[in-house]
Structure 1
Amino acid sequence: MFDAHEELSADVRTRFFIRGQWDAPTSSKHTPIIDPTTEEVVLEVPLASPEDAECAILAARAAFDRGPWPLMQGHERGAVLAKLADALSRRAPLLARLWTAQVGMPINLATRLIGTGIQRLRYYAELADVFEFETVRPLAGGTARVRKEPAGVALLIVPWNAPFPILCQKLGAALAAGCTCIVKPSPESPLDTLVLAECAKEVGLPPGVLNVLNADAQESAQLVSSPAVDKVSFTGSLATGRQIAVACAENMTRLTLELGGKSAAILLEDADLPTAFDALMPFAMPFSGQICFSQSRILVPRQRLDQAAGALKARLEALPMGDPWEPQTEVGPVLNARQANRVLSYIASGRSDGAEILTGGGRSARFQRGHYIEPTLFISVTSDMAIAREEIFGPVLTVQPYDSIDEAVEIANAPQMGLSGSVYSNDPERAYSVACRIRTGQVGVNGLQLDPSVPFGGYKRSGIGREGGPEGLEAFLEIKSVFMPKQEMRDVA
């Protein structure tokens, strides 16, 4: 279905992008990209050595300290970002295919969502054009010029599950701010980032402003702990996020962390179930549940539990599961054997804790190859169970009943993560009043929306800081106050 040697250049397949050029790795280390559908190797890609990592750091540092990018006006940087978005638009079909080939995202969904990444770049191109990087405030003794200046060298660490949209959100904001960047993609899905580097070279991004290399744990830690790096933006697991936070604390490196979620969808007693489930299902287990904002916990009034659970069971059993290259597929395989074993261990945990499986519950017997797990629905779930507290990152939903709004809010807020959530009601203002009580960074009323102008991030252990919107740009800026004396009026007559 995907031929890396036919569809990708030799540069993307075999090199790193450093100083505006394609550099051969100094190490012989490689890692395989595995097709989750066939379990076959798509491509062997190089891994950086410590020397490669240091080269990328030095390139980004020199481009910030001596290059034109941080000194350019916002509208000038915005114009380059707009050209980059145009170049990526021309590669959109390839980028969608890469998403499917590397991690098994169903091609229909990949084709639709690639546009969200390009939209994010365009948003920051337009924001850079109008953003006030300097304002003047009157003081008793003169004025203060409050400047918002680029933070410096930004290390952007991108996860495997949605590499292109997440990369565009981070990179668009960092470049709009005037930072120079090192991008470290996940070894499971690095190809999107390298294709973007091709486009950056095509549109004339100054050398060293964007540097891309694939790295393993040791070299990734080297990048994070470097005193030459001023800002780290990471999306990934809580465990890795904690390690990054500790390393950043040593140098007081600025950081943004997005560390996943355990999001609840609350159906109020007046919600129309078919309408609510129509809005909810695209966000309940998109990409086999391997999305951080999946609405994986469904909370319903106790008197409607049987009705809601039956309707959810029917909907999950009707989801087309199969080859992600087929346009009708909505549920494909999970990433790899490690991910499959993780999900299956949570399913086993739910069983042993006393939860009941209404549908699913194991590997699909329909497929001889690939890591296919049946869409699974648990009832008889309590908030102390691991399946109700911890992010599973797989096609698993739970249904829990509540007896009052206060109890629903308590259940929604029980996990130590707070990334997303949603509330469904025929009265949007009533749903809004409930949404305001949920301790998460994002809540949808009668559905969720993906828009680059809105900040995204989490409460509690879901992370620190926000991406998206003006807030995402601010995350890559430092603030400087310059005090100016009062200008005396002179008589020129």
Structure 2
Amino acid sequence: MPEFPVDIPDEFRHCFYVNGRWTRSDSDRRVTLISPATEEETLTLPLADSTDVERAVTSARIAFETGPWPRMPASERASHLRRLADETRERLPLLAQLWTAQVGAPISFTHQLIHAGQSRFDHFAELAGRYPFSERRPTRQGHARVVREPVGVAALIAPWNATFNIFAHKVPAALAAGCTVVIKSPVESPLDALVIAECAAAAGVPPGVVNVITADAEESAQLVASPEVDKISFTGSVPTGRRIAESVAGRMARATLELGGKSAAIILDDVDLSTALPALTPFTMPFAGQICFAQTRILAPRHRIVEVEEAYTAGVRALTVGDPWDATTDMGPVLNPRQYQRVLDYIEAGRQDGARVLTGGGRSPGLDTGYYIEPTVFADVRPEMKIAREEIFGPVVTVQGYDDIDEAVRLANDTDFGLSGSVFGADAERAFDVALRVTAGHLSVNGFEISPNVPFGGRKMSGYGREGGPEGLAGFLESKSVFMPAS
């Protein structure tokens, strides 16, 4: 087996993090990491069994019921979170390298985007010190004290594609609220959460507050179904999100679900393509399209459709596909053989349905090893086509025409998803008015942005609940009202 390309502590290779200690599993189950770029096995790591899951949940429950974390002043938790944020900041180069090593994201991409995760740790550390965890409201007979308390033990579950950045939406928010957590790492990218555990230990977070395991489907279901878990925060696929919702409904546990997307970028008729497309293109198929918020449907005025197709396709053709460790690479491989075949099947479905390939359409030429797919753009796409309706999670974008704004909005909303979107136009306020008509939780005008102080989340099959900002913190709190007599 080739040596793993990133230096990692020995504890990461053999242990989980439970109750403030690096703990070896009693099981001999292991998961093997495979490089998407070379198809070689690079590392084996522990995989949790049912005992490991129970141990992590019990640790979090005891820490919540008897430990100091939920009971300490918010200002004290904020101090711990500031130290935690500082520890993660020191490890950003490592986290960027792990992102590339585990799932093939280009190193130029990871070094830039890893800071988005860091900013979330900083944000919740600051928010924890000023959030209104209690307030007084006047009533007819006196006043009520509204107290916002931590929901309890939270299970935090993230996918493989952007593991640290997604956990950075969940972990500091849950901790700021006073929850204790079980972090369930994905088997494809298990190392990010172990770095967070190392940071928690270095920051002096009390034992049992942060627990980290790597678990497969059966053990993950056990975690979700545990009666000792009060809140599930999950990012991932719609089918898994639906199963989680069904599981927690029976015991009325809380859940935040951030699921898939099929986001539309609406290009208005007055747009300057020379400025709009450079702002849009990086977000149409970032990280080979393996990002939930990718703007995968471009909607353009029909009288400008050829102009848009030609300009956008030229930008896509200029992307460099290759070794993710090369700083000049724009796009690396997709994750694994299953993901590779899934994307190719969608491309073939687009052809069979009558869509026209403007560029790409197969394996990247000259790259015979690794799971590389050409950036692919389809034209002549009809709304009922599979490639226009389903989340592909690969480097595939469709271009569709519209006659007027009403049709553009109808096309944007003609999807089961409602996660993200964007509008580009010469008049930002006009574009804002169009954005208001799109049924999605997160939109941008003349660009694309995600900010730690602004809520992120979806509508329809894209899930429910919000992450980021005070709304993300509120998702880990319960409100209690205590009526008091007049003094």
TM-score calculated relative to the size of structure 1: 0.97
CA distance in 2: counterparts of 1:443 and 1:475, whole angstroms: 21
SS at match of 2:309: helix
In 1: Cα distance, 2:345 partner to 2:74 partner: 49
How far apart, in 1, do the equivalents of 2:429 and 2:115 lie?
A: 31
Q: Counterpart in 2 of 1:174?
A: 174
Partner of 1:223: 223
Matches within 5 A, 1:82-93: 82-93=82-93
CA distance in 1, matches of 2:75, 2:270: 49
Distance 1:457 1:42 in 2: 34
Amino acid corresponding to residue 130 of structure 2 in structure 1: V
1:278 equivalent in structure 2: 278
The aligned residue for residue 30 of structure 2 is: 30
Which segment drifts farther, 402-411 or 38-47? 38-47
Measured in 2, the distance between the counterparts of 1:5 and 1:433 equals: 48
User: Does 1:413 pair with 2:417?
Assistant: no
- Matches of 2:5 and 2:389 in 1, distance apart? 43
2:202 corresponds to which residue? 202
Query: Match for residue 54 of structure 1?
Result: 54
SS of the residue corresponding to residue 252 of structure 1 reads coil
Count of aligned residue pairs for this structure pair = 486
Partner of 1:477: 477
Could you tell me how far apart the structure 2 residues matched to 1:103 and 1:278 are? 26
CA distance in 1, matches of 2:431, 2:37: 40
Partner residue of 1:76? 76
Following superposition of structure 1 onto structure 2, how do residues 44-443 of structure 1 map, counting pairs within 5 Å?
44-443=44-443
Contact 1:26 1:48 survives alignment (8 Å): no
Change in Cα spacing, 1:336 to 1:59, as seen in structure 2 (3 Å) is same
Matches of 2:313 and 2:428 in 1, distance apart? 26
Q: Deviations over 1:139-198 (max 9, x none)?
A: 121211000000000000011000001101100110000000000011000101101111
Q: Give yes or no for contact 2:153–2:179 (8 Å, CA) kept in 1.
A: yes
Structure 1's consecutive aligned runs of 4 or more residues displaced over 2 angstroms after TM superposition are 2-6
For each residue in 1:182-234, what CA deviation from the matched residue of structure 2 results, as whole angstroms up to 9, or x when unmatched?
00011000101101111111111100000000011111111000010000000
CA–CA separation in structure 1 for the residues paired with 2:251 and 2:43: 37
Q: Distance in 1 between matches of 2:38 and 2:6?
A: 19
Identify if the C-alpha distance between structure 1 residues 21 and 14 changes in structure 2 by more than 3 Å, giving closer, same or farther: same
Deviation of the 1:450 alpha carbon: 2.0
Matches of 2:331 and 2:10 in 1, distance apart? Answer: 32
What does residue 490 of structure 1 align with? none
> Normalising to structure 2: TM-score of the pair?
0.99
Amino acid corresponding to residue 314 of structure 2 in structure 1: A
Whether contact under 8 Å (2:321, 2:364) holds in the other structure is no
- TM-superposed CA distance for 1:274, in Å, is 1.4
Deviation per CA, 1:319-375: give whole Å up to 9, x if none: 011101000111100001111111111101111111010110011131121000000
**One-letter code aligned to 1:353:** D
Q: Contact 2:148–2:477 at 8 Å: present in 1 too?
A: yes
Q: Distance in 2 between matches of 1:197 and 1:155?
A: 15
Q: State, as a whole percentage, how many aligned pairs show the same letter.
A: 56
SS at match of 1:7: coil
| Shift of residue 3, structure 1, vs aligned partner | 4.6
Q: Matched residues in 1 for 2:395 and 2:129: separation? A: 41
**Structure 1 SS opposite 2:452:** coil
Preserved CA contact (<8 Å) 2:6 2:98 = no
- Distance (Å, rounded) in 2 between the aligned partners of 1:315 and 1:124: 37
> How far apart, in 2, do the equivalents of 1:370 and 1:465 lie?
37
1:408-432, CA deviations, whole angstroms, 9 ceiling, x for partnerless residues?
Answer: 0000000100100000100001101
- Asked if the contact 2:343/2:394 (under 8 Å) is kept, the reply is yes
> Counterpart in 2 of 1:491?
none
Measure the CA separation in 1 of the matches of 2:6 and 2:330.
Answer: 27
CA distance in 1, matches of 2:353, 2:371: 25
Cα separation, 2, equivalents of 1:303 and 1:115:
40
Structure 2 CA distance for aligned equivalents of residues 442 and 83 of structure 1: 30
Aligned AA (1:456): F
Cα shift at 1:6: 6.6
Number of the residue aligned with 1:460: 460
Confirm or deny: 8 A CA contact 2:6 2:101 kept in the other structure: no
Which ranges in structure 1 are unaligned for 5 or more consecutive residues? 488-493
- 2:13 is the alignment partner of 1:13: yes
Q: CA RMSD in A?
A: 1.0
Q: Is the 8 A contact 2:48 2:214 kept in 1?
A: yes
Question: What secondary structure is seen at the aligned counterpart in 2 of 1:452?
Answer: coil
Q: Which amino acid is the alignment partner of residue 283 of structure 2?
A: F
Residue 114 of structure 1 deviates from its aligned partner by: 1.2
Deviations 1:92-119 (A, max 9, x none): 1111000000001110110111111111
C-alpha distance after superposition, 1:42-92 (max 9, x if no partner) = 211111111110000100000000000001111111111111111111111
TM-superposition CA deviations, 1:348-403 (whole Å, max 9, x none): 11111110101100111311210000000000101101100110000001000000
Question: What letter corresponds to residue 447 of structure 2 in structure 1?
Answer: G
Alpha-carbon contact 2:3-2:43 (below 8 Å) kept: no
Structure 2: runs of 5 or more not aligned = none
Give me the whole-angstrom Cα distance separating, in 2, the residues matched to 1:481 and 1:41.
Answer: 55
Report if aligned partners of 1:288, 1:331 keep a CA contact under 8 Å in 2: yes
